[in-house]
Amino acid sequence: MAHLILQFRSLKQNHGRGYASKIGIKHISNEWFARMDSDDISTKDRFKLQISAINKYTKTHPKLAVVGGQISEFMNDEKNIVGYRRVPLTPNEIEKFAAYRSPINNPTAMINKKALLEIGNYSELNVLEDYDLWVRFLSSNYTLINISDTLVNMRAGNGMYKRRGGIRYLKAYIKQKAAWKNQGIGSNKTVVFSSIAMMGSIIFPTSLRKLLYQRILHK
């Protein structure tokens, strides 16, 4: 019978998710590790599916660094599915998608620790730290894939949509988009297009931003 050992690590000060992730990596001993937020729910066969994908794709993609999948979103009750976020599957599709939007659903990601450390670990960004990670993998010629299965049912409360609003978020988004273009992901056109689209989303009240993500962006 397999045994699960949980380790809890606390930080004296809140420096954001990027910093916390960077510290947490130091305590991982496995070759691959899986991400998930504390209030999300993984499907019962999630890890079986991802390990199978790793075994399959490493034969043809020796620089495989990330295996992700699809997510469903729920409100209040996990059976109350309100939307999905679909992401592309193949390396080529993922790289094209990354020029506009984050190509990996962060709560579904299974990541190779060695590859992560080779690109400098997580950054200490307080926003967009996951998107930044995928871009740095791609710009370092690592392979990212997604499988077609839904791997995580993610809680989509109003707080999630509220965090994606405000001038601070918009400024960080535009700054990072320009930086990612300099790393070879995107172009002047995609930076302008994405920034205008994000600006429109930012000025929406939380209720309308929620509808935008659920009815359009996450389809």
Q: Quote the pLDDT of residue 202.
A: 59
**pTM metric for this prediction:** 0.82
Distance of alpha carbon 163 from alpha carbon 122, whole angstroms: 20
pLDDT in 10s for each residue of the chain, 219 residues: 455 667 777 778 877 777 788 888 888 888 999 998 888 899 999 999 999 999 999 999 999 999 999 999 988 888 888 888 999 999 999 999 999 889 999 999 999 999 999 999 988 777 788 999 999 999 999 999 999 999 999 987 655 545 555 677 777 777 888 888 888 888 888 778 777 766 655 565 555 555 555 554 555
**98 within 8 A of 138, measured Cβ to Cβ:** yes
Count of CB atoms within 10 A of residue 117's CB?
11
